[in-house]
């Protein structure tokens, strides 16, 4: 998606540790007009897949998942990172290692919200090591639902998460795929 690449080149900042900061439009401040363009692209990619539900993970995946849910007219579910008193009863859960924060956490979704007959599209802002997506895929497997595919705003191709998931037969679509990045240059695949 050319507009996504332009936006990253214009507003993105590469921080130490291989972190791409896109807080100005994607994951702290959200450019809602551009968000809808991203959602339209996801609908173009997955709109014919019979998606019944979108699953994401709090917090930074939520805006894009909600926008795509609005366009695709399906509900959105977000997995929570900690068990809270608002999620009672039975849950699906899996463990995720965060690259950004260098820590493990548990992700949880109430069983009521993923059903066996659901066809799930996963959405997240970033795909790097693929840990968050793998955790979400585990939740889908626990529910015996069907995974249609994964849409991410930005894939860091220099980390192997995307390629490992594709090797397992998972359909992954990135709106922008970064081949390499340094302080001074971002190269797209």
Contacts with a copy of itself by CB under 8 A lie at: 15, 17, 19, 21, 23-24, 27-33, 35-36, 58-59, 62-63, 66-67, 69-70, 73-78, 80, 84-88, 100-101, 109-110, 112-113
Give the shortest CB-173-to-a copy of itself separation in angstroms: 20
Cβ contacts of 16 within 8 Å, gap of 6 or more? none
Give the shortest CB-63-to-a copy of itself separation in angstroms: 5
Question: Do residues 110 and 87 make contact, with C-beta atoms less than 8 angstroms apart?
Answer: yes
Phi-psi region of 79 (alpha: psi -120 to 50; beta: other; left: phi over 0): beta
Q: Which C-beta is closer to a copy of itself: that of 127 or that of 170?
A: 127
Give the shortest CB-109-to-a copy of itself separation in angstroms: 7
Q: Which C-beta is closer to a copy of itself: that of 11 or that of 164?
A: 11
Give the shortest CB-168-to-a copy of itself separation in angstroms: 27
Question: Do residues 22 and 154 make contact, with C-beta atoms less than 8 angstroms apart?
Answer: yes
Question: Do residues 56 and 76 make contact, with C-beta atoms less than 8 angstroms apart?
Answer: yes
User: Which tokens in the block code for residue 88?
Assistant: 């009672």
Q: Which C-beta is closer to a copy of itself: that of 67 or that of 181?
A: 67
Distance CA 130, CA 156 (A): 10
């Amino acid at each position: 998606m050319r507009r996504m690449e332009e936006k990253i080149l214009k507003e993105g900042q590469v921080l130490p540790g291989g972190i791409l900061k896109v807080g100005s439009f994607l994951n702290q401040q959200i450019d809602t007009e551009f968000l809808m363009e991203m959602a339209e692209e996801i609908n173009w990619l997955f709109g014919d897949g019979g998606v019944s539900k979108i699953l994401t993970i709090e917090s930074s995946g939520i805006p894009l998942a909600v926008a795509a849910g609005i366009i695709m007219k399906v509900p959105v579910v977000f997995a929570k990172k900690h068990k809270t008193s608002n999620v009672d009863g039975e849950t699906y859960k899996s463990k995720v290692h965060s690259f950004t924060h260098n820590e493990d956490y548990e992700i949880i979704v109430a069983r009521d919200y993923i059903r066996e007959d659901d066809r799930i599209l996963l959405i997240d802002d970033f795909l790097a090591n693929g840990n968050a997506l793998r955790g979400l895929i585990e939740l889908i497997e626990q529910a015996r639902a069907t995974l249609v595919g994964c849409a991410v705003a930005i894939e860091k191709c220099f980390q192997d998460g995307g390629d490992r998931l594709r090797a397992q037969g998972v359909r992954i679509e990135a709106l922008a795929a970064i081949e390499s990045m340094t302080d001074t240059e971002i190269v797209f695949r």
